[in-house]
Chains A and B, each alone.
Chain A
Amino acid sequence: MSGKPKLHYFNGRGRMESIRWLLAAAGVEFDECFLETRDDLLKLQKSGTLLFQQVPMVEIDGMKMVQTRAIGNYIAAKYNLYGKDLKERALIDMYVEAIIDLDELLMMYALQPADKKEQYLANIVDKATNRYFPVYEKVLKDHGQDFLVGNQLSRADVQLLEALLMAEEYKSDILAKFPLLQSFKARISNVPTIKKFLQPGSQRKPPLQEKDLPKVMKIFNLGH
């Protein structure tokens, strides 16, 4: 038994990617077990290891943890990425929850029917540039520090970087009006553990390819 956390998910980003980011940022090595077919998921469900029959599932510290937020909370707290007190945690939670909302928007793009994709993309860009990014730009401007909360790296910084890079995949100049987010992006990308994660060969997953969508839909029994 390696003692390393073990991630159970399909071989793609989805809801597990933010967990990969957090572990990587914390410098924690982890193993992955990929679901390739619907049978793999059914087998996992039958084995009783999925508390609510769902993945992500992460085996960590003797627990079989499910629910992305619960897993993220545990990792963040364990590896000191959750602020130093209740109030810092409150800020981190607020920032992270909104980022998760934006991530969901981005994630659902792939599932939109072809004729709805353009409008959906416009909505993503609108929300990103009018609702979410201005908040973080202002936070950084107001305190002038390198990190979002408490002058040290936290889960909020890691998750924001992940979201910024994903948003740029949809529209490469999406950060044009946000100079502080641009420098934030550069700065956090240079944190050694994160720099390593951003290099080829790491466990970071690529965006979902169109050709892989049917497989994912099948595993999770999505769509009709």
Chain B
Amino acid sequence: MGVCAYNPKKSFLLELGKTLQICISFLSQHRLCGVTGSSHVISCYPAEMRQKNQELRSMSEKPRLIYFNGRGRMESVRWLLAAARVEFEEIFLDTREQYVKLIKDGSLMFQQVPLVEIDGMKMVQTRAILSYIAGKYNLYGKDLKERAFIDMYVEGITDLMHMILMFPFSPPEAKEKNLALITERATHRYFPVFEKALKQHGQDFLVGNQVSWADIQLMEVILAVEEKTPAVLSAFPQLQAFKTRMSNMPAIKKFLQPGSPRKPPPDDHYVSTVLKVLAEE
């Protein structure tokens, strides 16, 4: 029929949906056909167009995460994508061969993971990836100053997160000291800042009265510290309320349920896999 101007390069489902909506309304108005069911299958479309739509839906430009099957540096990316309601695929590195192949293929710009394939880019460097996702999905504030605060908060949280991340790799004799340091930093350096911020403006979110990257990372780190020190929020009523609020946001609620891409805390198997794959001395 060729009545709809359709650019096959626009493969995002959203664009597809919009295009189909325009076509549907045109076709319906002109009584040329009707829409069947709740899916986007329209019985009067020419066969080639139906086929193309089907291909595009299955091609799905979902981001693809390449990392170990565990939290590590990729977990923040999983949180952010989940909070933005972006579905993603994952490829898990189990062997050194996979990793070496990725390097030989030129997929790892600096020979390191995380790697996230997104929007035609092979992105590396965790912060670069997170900034891109935050910027794209409107989780980065509305102006430069809000971004400045989000960045400051995120960077502080990342410092705390880094301690937790490195903890399973510390030698056994240092673990007790490191655990104490994590708890000390959380309760004296980092959590007080966010408790104060929430108290001062009385809003639901850290910056600009809307959910941002900073809220999602804070939620992630609160849960991570609680896994180590369950009563860590006892002196922080604002953070307790924040945690409850965030847990109830639909996308995050879904991410916190079993079967989501959220990864469990690192265990010995995770540590040995990482060391083996990276062949770290």
User: Do A63 and B145 touch across chains, with their CB atoms under 8 A apart?
Assistant: yes
- Name B144's closest neighbour in chain A (CB-CB): A77
Q: How far is the CA of A215 from the CA of B72 in the complex (A)?
A: 36
Q: How far is the CA of A174 from the CA of B124 in the complex (A)?
A: 25
Q: Mark B12-35, 1 if CB is under 8 A from A, else 0.
A: 000000000000000000000000
User: Do A73 and B109 touch across chains, with their CB atoms under 8 A apart?
Assistant: no
Q: How far is the CA of A63 from the CA of B119 in the complex (A)?
A: 34
User: Do B148 and A74 touch across chains, with their CB atoms under 8 A apart?
Assistant: yes
**The one of A74, A86, A135 that contacts B151, using a Cβ cutoff of 8 Å:** A74
**The one of A53, A94, A135 that contacts B123, using a Cβ cutoff of 8 Å:** A94
Size category of the B interface is: 20 to 34
User: Do A78 and B132 touch across chains, with their CB atoms under 8 A apart?
Assistant: no
**The one of A69, A74, A94 that contacts B144, using a Cβ cutoff of 8 Å:** A74
Contacts of B135 in A (CB 8 A): 86, 89
Given A53-B189, A74-B144, A94-B123, decide whether A67 and B128 contact each other with a Cβ distance below 8 A: no
User: Do A65 and B152 touch across chains, with their CB atoms under 8 A apart?
Assistant: yes
Cβ < 8 Å to B, chain A residues 104-146: 131-132, 135
Contacts of A68 in B (CB 8 A): 155
Given A65-B148, A73-B151, decide whether A52 and B123 contact each other with a Cβ distance below 8 A: no
User: Do A67 and B152 touch across chains, with their CB atoms under 8 A apart?
Assistant: yes
A28 interfacial by beta-carbon distance below 8 Å: no
Q: Tell me the minimal C-beta distance from A134 to chain B in angstroms.
A: 10
Q: How far is the CA of A135 from the CA of B103 in the complex (A)?
A: 13
Given A52-B193, A63-B145, decide whether A94 and B125 contact each other with a Cβ distance below 8 A: yes
User: Do A69 and B155 touch across chains, with their CB atoms under 8 A apart?
Assistant: yes
Contacts of B109 in A (CB 8 A): 94, 98, 135
User: Do B132 and A90 touch across chains, with their CB atoms under 8 A apart?
Assistant: yes
Q: Tell me the minimal C-beta distance from A108 to chain B in angstroms.
A: 15
- Name A77's closest neighbour in chain B (CB-CB): B144
A39 interfacial by beta-carbon distance below 8 Å: no
**The one of B111, B152, B189 that contacts A70, using a Cβ cutoff of 8 Å:** B152
User: Do B151 and A132 touch across chains, with their CB atoms under 8 A apart?
Assistant: no
User: Do A90 and B156 touch across chains, with their CB atoms under 8 A apart?
Assistant: no
B190 interfacial by beta-carbon distance below 8 Å: yes
User: Do B110 and A132 touch across chains, with their CB atoms under 8 A apart?
Assistant: yes
User: Do A51 and B156 touch across chains, with their CB atoms under 8 A apart?
Assistant: yes
Q: Tell me the minimal C-beta distance from B166 to chain A in angstroms.
A: 14
Contacts of A132 in B (CB 8 A): 110
User: Do B189 and A77 touch across chains, with their CB atoms under 8 A apart?
Assistant: no
User: Do A131 and B144 touch across chains, with their CB atoms under 8 A apart?
Assistant: no
B178 interfacial by beta-carbon distance below 8 Å: no
A162 interfacial by beta-carbon distance below 8 Å: no
B159 interfacial by beta-carbon distance below 8 Å: yes
Q: How far is the CA of A90 from the CA of B99 in the complex (A)?
A: 23
A177 interfacial by beta-carbon distance below 8 Å: no
Contacts of A63 in B (CB 8 A): 145, 148
User: Do A97 and B121 touch across chains, with their CB atoms under 8 A apart?
Assistant: no
Contacts of B144 in A (CB 8 A): 74, 77-78
Q: Could you jot down 10 A-B contacts, CB within 8 Å?
A: A66-B156, A67-B156, A70-B151, A74-B148, A77-B147, A89-B131, A90-B132, A93-B132, A135-B109, A135-B110
For the A-B complex with A66-B152, A67-B152, A69-B151 known, give 4 more contacts whose Cβ atoms are closer than 8 Å. Answer: A52-B156, A86-B136, A94-B125, A131-B110
Hey, which bits of chain B sit against chain A, CB under 8 A? 109-111, 119, 121, 123-128, 131-132, 135-136, 144-145, 147-148, 151-152, 154-156, 159, 189-190, 193
Hey, which bits of chain A sit against chain B, CB under 8 A? 51-53, 61, 63, 65-70, 73-74, 77-78, 86-87, 89-90, 93-94, 96-98, 101, 131-132, 135
- Pairs of residues from A and B, 5 with the lowest C-beta to C-beta distance, nearest first: A70-B151, A93-B128, A67-B155, A97-B125, A94-B128
